[in-house]
Structure 1
Amino acid sequence: MKKSYCPIDTFINVVKGKRKGTIVLHLFQGDKRYSELVKLLPDISERMLTKQLKELESDGLIRRTVYPEVPPKVEYSLTDLGKEIHPILKGMYKGGILFEKSMDESHL
């Protein structure tokens, strides 16, 4: 995580990326295994999902837990910081719905 000139830019730089906000919103509903996230995000390649998960972990928003089992079990969960940004992301989600609605109405 790198500070920007403005805290808004810092926030956006951390959560921008292919489906990062959506990943955080899914994890707010509970811990998920990698395979569950793959099913929840069918429009993202597994390579890109792995990249986004690593970045979210590096930025301190999610935690990756590996259980010593065969086959290995990996679970993702939100950190306290990840939980704190949930209301912001939920607001962005609602804002997106407003924009999409206005776009739909302008095409009528």
Structure 2
Amino acid sequence: MKTMVTGCPAEFTLKMIGGRWKIFIVHQLLEGTLRFSELQRRINGLSANVVTPKMLTQELRQMEADGLVLRTVYPEVPPRVEYSLTPMGCSLEPVVEAMVEWGRRLEREFGIPVEHCK
């Protein structure tokens, strides 16, 4: 897990959830536990861009190391791996909700066109 050395909680938060795909990952895992392929499919269904398996793996590994995501491997053949949010990851729900609402507000109150998710 990262240690806050910046002295700025906002900067630390951005380091934890910054990155192109982390907020998408959190948003999808807030709905429940997912396997890798399902998580990738859902993210690619939301974004105008495509998350590659390599990039998704990197983001998930970093989030696991930071204590946001739990990776569970089941001793089956073929192997089954599932991802879920830890309690710390779940605590990001109000952050994600605030980001969504802010995007809606830009469009509604300021007339700024916001590219909608697919």
- Please confirm whether the aligned pair reaches a TM-score higher than 0.5, indicating the same fold: yes
| Deviating 4+ runs (over 6 angstroms) | none
Percentage of pairs with the same residue? 38
Give the 5 Å matches for 1:14-53: 14-42=16-44, 43-53=50-60
How far apart are the structure 2 equivalents of 1:104 and 1:97?
Answer: 9
Deviation at 1:79, TM superposition (A): 0.4
Deviation at 1:100, TM superposition (A): 4.9
Say whether 1:66 aligns with 2:73.
yes
Deviation at 1:5, TM superposition (A): 2.2
Query: Are the equivalent residues in 1 in contact too, given 2:70–2:83 (CA < 8 A)?
Result: yes
User: TM-score if structure 1 supplies the norm length?
Assistant: 0.89
RMSD: 1.6
Deviation at 1:19, TM superposition (A): 1.4
SS at match of 2:100: helix
Bigger shift: 33-42 or 60-69? 33-42
| Distance 1:6-1:86 versus aligned 2 partners, 3 A rule | same
Q: How many residues align?
A: 105
| Unpaired segments ≥5 residues, structure 2 | 45-49
- In structure 1, the residue matched to 2:62 is 55
User: TM-score if structure 2 supplies the norm length?
Assistant: 0.82
Say whether 1:85 aligns with 2:99.
no
Query: Are the equivalent residues in 2 in contact too, given 1:34–1:76 (CA < 8 A)?
Result: yes
